Chains A and B, each alone.
Chain A
């Protein structure tokens, strides 16, 4: 396998993080992926953004996965950071796991400003709190909505009768 720039950036990151990082593996879509510990996320993002060869200047997506039914795979919530270099046209992915009880993680807004709305969406849909976020409010559902819809234990029709309408 030819080691490309994105792979090399992640391997550099891995050597910086030490035991906080797992192995660099290509995912099914061939994007090199690195699993790291949650407290190292902001440091890792800053490292990749400022990495000279990697040059990951764009946070394409920040989302979460609820592994409720797969406890053997690790902690319940997985947060995924998808990075892209607009100048050099390559991508990399960071993954981290955080536990079920009071899920929180440090906000990435200090590194990528686009993380603002992405983290609000994750907060809205999964109830994961981002420490240091400037404006952590619901973004899709209205204020006062109960529950976090994309959690696997959320009933499809929501809590209570569906026909209720939000207050005007």
Chain B
């Protein structure tokens, strides 16, 4: 039992929400799941020119247990799908998922026996980025959208 269940919805909880969401919003730790050309654009967004550090999401960790933002950038084929699911499961709550590009969102041009037709068939997705591949600006906007989503969350929602 945490403080939120003890207090219920009220001024203390909402004030806590603001503080906690502020912290979460500006310190996203991305888990890069780059498997195709989208990953190059993701690197571009992370590097100095577009500089995702401006949104507090520059500390890329290659261990799912240290991350709260999964960026799936690229084609996920069916042999890879269990790995993606496992990585998502290994990330600790709270966690968010960005599906970057046409392949991750809907299979892209690969409507074939080998390719997963969208990662939302196996894991929940918060923000989809269209494009093939999307520009780094689109990546940044996805991070902003995630931040807006975090803003609307309350600690009462999460178990």
In the complex, identify which listed stretch (A65-73, A83-91, A159-167) lies at the interface while the others stay far away: A159-167
CB distance from B16 to the nearest CB of A (A): 38
Closest beta carbon of chain B to A120's beta carbon, Å:
15
Indicate if the CB atoms of A142 and B79 lie closer than 8 Å.
yes
**Binary A-proximity of B73-110 (CB < 8 A = 1, otherwise 0):** 00000110110011000000000000000000000000
Question: Could you tell me if A157 and B113 are in contact, using CB atoms closer than 8 angstroms?
Answer: yes
Contact string, B107-137, partner A, CB cutoff 8 A, digits 1/0? 0000111111100011000000000000000
Measured in the bound complex, the distance between the Cα atoms of B112 and A156 in whole Å is 5
Q: Is the CB of A163 within 8 A of B111?
A: no
Are A157 and B116 neighbours in the complex by a CB distance under 8 Å? no
Q: How far is the CA of A102 from the CA of B82 in the complex (A)?
A: 33
Q: Is A26 an interface residue (CB 8 A)?
A: no
CA–CA, A141 to B80, complex, Å? 10
- A103 in contact (CB, < 8 A): no
Q: Closest A-chain residue to B122, C-beta based?
A: A165
User: Which single member of B79, B82, B112 contacts A162 (CB below 8 Å)?
Assistant: B112
With contact pairs A165-B121, A165-B122 given, residues A157 and B111 touching in the complex (Cβ less than 8 Å): yes
Q: Is the CB of A149 within 8 A of B81?
A: no
- Chain B residues near A157: list those with CB within 8 A: 111-113
| From B82, B111, B113, contact of A168 by CB (8 A) | B82
Q: Tell me how far the C-beta of B15 lies from the nearest C-beta in chain A, rounded to whole angstroms.
A: 42
State the Cβ distance, A159 to closest chain B Cβ, in Å.
8
CA distance A154 to B113 in the complex (A): 10
For B79, the closest partner residue in chain A by CB is A142
- Cβ–Cβ contact B113 & A162, under 8 A: yes
Determine the distance from Cα of A157 to Cα of B111 in the docked complex, in whole angstroms.
7
Given A141-B79, A163-B117, A168-B112 contact (CB < 8 Å)? no
With both beta carbons as reference points, the residue of chain B lying nearest to A158 in the complex is identified as B113
Q: How far is the CB of A68 from chain B (nearest CB, A)?
A: 17
For B81, the chain A residues whose CB sits under 8 A away are: 165-166
Chain A contacts for B113, CB-based, 8 A: 147, 149, 154-159, 162
Residue of B nearest to A165 (CB): B81
Which residues from chain B contact A165 at a C-beta distance below 8 Å? 78, 81-82, 85, 116, 121-122
With A and B bound together, what is the CA distance between A80 and B137 in angstroms?
47
Q: Can you list 11 contacts pairing A with B, beta carbon distance less than 8 Å? A: A142-B79, A147-B113, A149-B114, A157-B112, A162-B111, A162-B112, A162-B113, A162-B115, A165-B78, A165-B82, A168-B85
**What is the interface of chain A, defined by CB distance below 8 A to chain B?**
140-142, 147, 149, 154-159, 162-168
